[in-house]
Amino acid sequence: MRITVLLGGDSFERDVSLSSSYEVVKALRRGGHEVYTIDPAIPMDRQSEPGKAAVGEEPPGLAPDPLPPADRLKWLQSPYLLNADAVFIALHGGAGEDGTVQALLDAAGVPYTGTGMIGSALAMNKDRSKALFSEAGIQTAPHIFVPQKRCGDGAKIREAVEGVLGFPVVVKPNNQGSSVGFSFVPSSEGLGEALERASGFGGGLVLETYIPGREVAVTVLEDRALSPVEIIPEGGFYDYKRKYTKGSSRYVVPAEFDSDVIMRLESEALKASRALLCRDYSRVDFRVGGDGETYCLEVNTLPGMTKLSLVPMAAAEAGMDFDKLVERICSLAAARGSVTTR
């Protein structure tokens, strides 16, 4: 196949994208495919092959300098894009994951991997996705949504938390991934700092009841739930650092739960993926309480494909190595051609 990998971008998850795309490009070339790369945040005359990227302990503070308005969509005119059998979207966060890039590729008639425009937009909006979870009968942690224009009203937010959720709570931006802007707030004293940290990303905030228990992720591949993966972060929460720093977390696959909990996790993952109109592959994140209750937190439509990523772990446990996984995802997109259904 002729495959073009979209990578980098200008979101706070740029480093994660570069790390994922490096592995994806190598895997596809090992499979004998003709592979090109495009970074939408870099001028077309300065494009280069992705190098081995290192993901730091914190999200990068600066994105590439914004392109002039006249140059921002020139990547859509590239023959490597327009003549591709499939475009592998290895972008993470921002316009790459919120439906914007998907809409542009739909308009260009180019087949691409993963979820379409509507599903991508729904999954990236934590408040709206949790509403759809509830409508589908999926248990999720109680939450409060704070619009961006009200993020500075700390007193009213604290009052709402104390009256509706109680402490401890988790504070995070409504439209970021990879735990960017995440804070665990054990008491009201730490709320102000957490609000300030998360509100800097725009899009409003989600404050969520903290569920004590175990962190679990379920991959959905071609509308089939793979075995759950338990994440055991060392000495803290599964934040940006512990997601991307080798040795900061341990993983157990398949996760060691009673069979009824496993069945519930897999069933809820499928329902969540379907509720958000996901396609091809996704990762559904859960907390499992000490009583065995499962709480769906969010769905990732472009999960990481780094060496520490959870989707490749789950696929390997199911008998599909990384190269075959990436090739299969591309084949699903190529089979759709330029016809999109979502």
Q: Which of 178, 179, 183, 273 is catalytic?
A: 178
What sign has the CA pseudo-torsion 72, 74, 78, 83? positive
Q: Which of 199, 298, 309, 327 is catalytic?
A: 298
Q: How far apart are CA 37 and CA 28, in angstroms?
A: 12
Q: Which of 13, 85, 239, 280 is catalytic?
A: 13
Is residue 132 within 8 A of residue 122, CB to CB? The reply is: yes
Our CA angle for 301, 306, 312, nearest 5°, is 70
Is residue 289 within 8 A of residue 213, CB to CB? The reply is: yes
The kind and range of the H/E element at 224 are strand 224-225
Q: Which of 85, 208, 285, 327 is catalytic?
A: 285
13 among known catalytic residues: yes
Residue type, 281: Y
300 among known catalytic residues: yes
Do β-strands 183-185 and 34-38 pair in parallel, antiparallel, or remain unpaired?
A: unpaired
93 among known catalytic residues: no
Do β-strands 169-173 and 34-38 pair in parallel, antiparallel, or remain unpaired?
A: unpaired
248 among known catalytic residues: no
Q: Which of 244, 268, 282, 309 is catalytic?
A: 244
304 among known catalytic residues: yes
Do β-strands 183-185 and 169-173 pair in parallel, antiparallel, or remain unpaired?
A: antiparallel
Q: How far apart are CA 340 and CA 342, in angstroms?
A: 6
238 among known catalytic residues: no
Q: How far apart are CA 41 and CA 67, in angstroms?
A: 7
Q: Which of 96, 119, 204, 304 is catalytic?
A: 304
N-to-C CA span, the chain: 24
Structure-derived torsion over alpha carbons of residues 13, 18, 20, 25, reported in degrees to the nearest 10: 150
109 among known catalytic residues: no
Q: How far apart are CA 130 and CA 135, in angstroms?
A: 9
| Residues catalogued as catalytic | 13, 178, 244, 283, 285, 298, 300, 304
